[in-house]
């Protein structure tokens, strides 16, 4: 089945409202194994909408609408689609009573609907209405010549409820199969990941789609099968193929973020972690402590923004700062080993860098970040220099640095090497760590 999403509303074209409905519907349709061919945003213009509906109807099996079901004169989606699908509308007394009751219950408009609201009680004659338990605008379902049109309100809360309760189950049944999806999270950019696994995206079942995030990507795998168990097995098999190619960068399945993986891994291993942060300002600690149960594995987060704080709380030698600068490999290493010592944690990370917008140093532009890890079990660690200046925004530099820190904790907990890093100990000469 192929689909097109049509979002109606001049306010969308003007940028007054962010079109989150299209994103939601695209993901929902993908999970159902329905291919979305086009997304459209169109104003409240019946002529242009009529032309669009005619064109979309000629090439797609399903048209999914949001918006244009309100009581005002320019809300003409229902009328326009009914005409295109060879249907008419009639006044529904029961629906009108729901609208009257809704106004009385919510106190809208002086507790009494206006004459304009009567048009919201107009429903399909050949098709059928879709109930709206959260607002005054019922949806509509039309069918003609093998094509389906479903109309939903533009208000996201109302649209999502109608989709979940009345539309998705019917579409799933018509697919005559069970749909199952899993999401693999992968560190790295979309283009670099896609180039490695491009053949796996060509399959029609299971399907796979990649979504770019800050510092990582999601690969959503969706399988269609006769039973839920068969679909899940197919998803697992395809994800195993992705993981074989992508290696340790593919870090987990169906988790909200890397910090969840780190916390769960520390719990499984019986380990504790500490953080020593400068340029990230406690962002790594915040991410970790957002995970329920993190208190079992995380007790200390040092935010040592000032030089004096690094010296007093972490034992960073003043002479090291004076000789190599606070943004340097030797300082990051001292921060990591200091955090491990002061907290008693088995693992620790230290971060110092230039998040910008100012503060550039010779050979150290904005985006230069030093990240060190310490493993108190073996008295060893690792050190890396990150160049994140391509992301000029301060928030992005900080967010990406935090991702690298979390990944370093993950790899140390698993005993995996940290790519592009220098092996260090507390006794490694500072000159060696001046990278």
Asked whether the predicted pLDDT for residue 356 surpasses 70, the reply is yes
Asked whether the predicted pLDDT for residue 108 surpasses 60, the reply is no
Decide if 128 contacts 142 (C-beta within 8 A). no
What domains, with CATH codes, occur in the chain?
2-174 (3.40.980.10), 179-253 (3.30.70.60), 258-433 (3.90.950.20)
What's 320's DSSP letter? H
pLDDT (mean) for 164-178 = 89
Q: How many CA atoms lie within 13 A of 168 on its CB side?
A: 19
* Angle of CA points 256, 4, 23, to nearest 5°: 25
With CA atoms as reference, report the closest residue to 376 among 351, 350, 345.
345
Q: What is the pLDDT of residue 208?
A: 92
With CA atoms as reference, report the closest residue to 338 among 351, 327, 354, 325.
351
Q: How many CA atoms lie within 13 A of 21 on its CB side?
A: 29
The share of the chain scoring above pLDDT 70, in percent, equals: 99
d(CA 302, CA 277): 6
Asked whether the predicted pLDDT for residue 111 surpasses 80, the reply is no
- Name the pTM for this structure: 0.77
* Angle of CA points 149, 151, 154, to nearest 5°: 145
Most confident residue range from 48-62, 193-207, 387-401 = 48-62
The mean pLDDT value of the chain amounts to 93
Asked whether the predicted pLDDT for residue 107 surpasses 70, the reply is no
Three-state secondary structure of 185-236: EEECCHHHHHHHHHHHHCCCCCEEEEEEECCEEEEEEEEEECCHHHHHHHHH
Return contacts of 236-241, CB within 8 angstroms, 24+ apart.
Answer: 236/182, 238/200, 238/203, 238/206, 238/208, 239/182, 239/184, 241/200
């Amino acid at each position: 089945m192929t689909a097109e999403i049509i979002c109606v509303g001049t306010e969308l074209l003007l940028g007054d409202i962010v079109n989150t409905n299209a994103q939601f519907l695209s993901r929902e349709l993908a999970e159902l194994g329905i291919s979305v061919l086009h997304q459209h945003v169109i104003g409240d213009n019946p002529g242009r909408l009529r032309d669009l509906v005619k064109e979309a109807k000629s090439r797609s099996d399903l048209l999914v609408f949001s918006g244009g079901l309100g009581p005002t004169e320019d809300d003409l989606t229902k009328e326009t689609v009914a005409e295109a699908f060879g249907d008419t509308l009639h006044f529904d007394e029961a629906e009108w009573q729901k609208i009257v009751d809704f106004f009385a219950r919510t106190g809208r408009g002086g507790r009494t609907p206006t004459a304009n609201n009567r048009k919201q009680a107009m429903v399909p004659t050949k098709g059928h209405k879709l109930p709206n338990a959260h607002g005054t605008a019922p949806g509509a379902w039309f069918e003609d010549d093998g094509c389906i049109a479903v109309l939903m309100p533009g208000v996201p809360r109302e649209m999502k409820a109608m989709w979940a309760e009345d539309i998705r189950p019917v579409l799933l049944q018509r697919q005559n199969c069970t749909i199952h999806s899993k999401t693999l999270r992968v560190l790295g950019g979309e283009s670099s990941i896609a180039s490695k696994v491009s053949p796996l995206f060509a399959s029609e079942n299971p399907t796979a789609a990649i979504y770019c995030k800050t510092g990582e990507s999601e690969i959503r795998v969706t399988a269609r099968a006769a039973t839920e168990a068969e679909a899940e097995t197919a998803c697992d098999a395809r994800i195993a193929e992705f993981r074989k190619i992508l290696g340790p960068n593919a870090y987990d399945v169906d988790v909200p973020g890397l910090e969840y993986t780190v916390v769960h891994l520390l719990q499984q291993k019986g380990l504790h972690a500490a953080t020593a942060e400068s340029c990230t300002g406690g962002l790594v600690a915040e991410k970790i402590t957002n995970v329920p149960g993190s208190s079992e594995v995380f007790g200390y987060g040092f935010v040592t923004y000032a030089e004096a704080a690094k010296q007093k709380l972490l034992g960073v030698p003043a002479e090291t700062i004076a000789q190599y600068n606070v943004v340097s490999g030797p300082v990051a290493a001292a921060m990591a080993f200091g955090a491990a010592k002061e907290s008693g944690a088995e693992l620790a990370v230290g971060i110092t860098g230039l998040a910008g917008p100012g503060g550039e140093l010779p050979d150290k532009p904005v985006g230069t970040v030093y990240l060190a890890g310490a493993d108190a079990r073996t008295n060893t660690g690792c050190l890396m220099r990150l160049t994140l200046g391509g992301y000029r925004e301060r928030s992005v530099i900080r967010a990406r640095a935090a991702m690298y820190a979390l990944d370093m904790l993950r790899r140390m907990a698993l005993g995996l090497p940290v790519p592009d890093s220098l092996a260090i100990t507390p006794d490694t000469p500072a000159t060696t760590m001046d990278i």
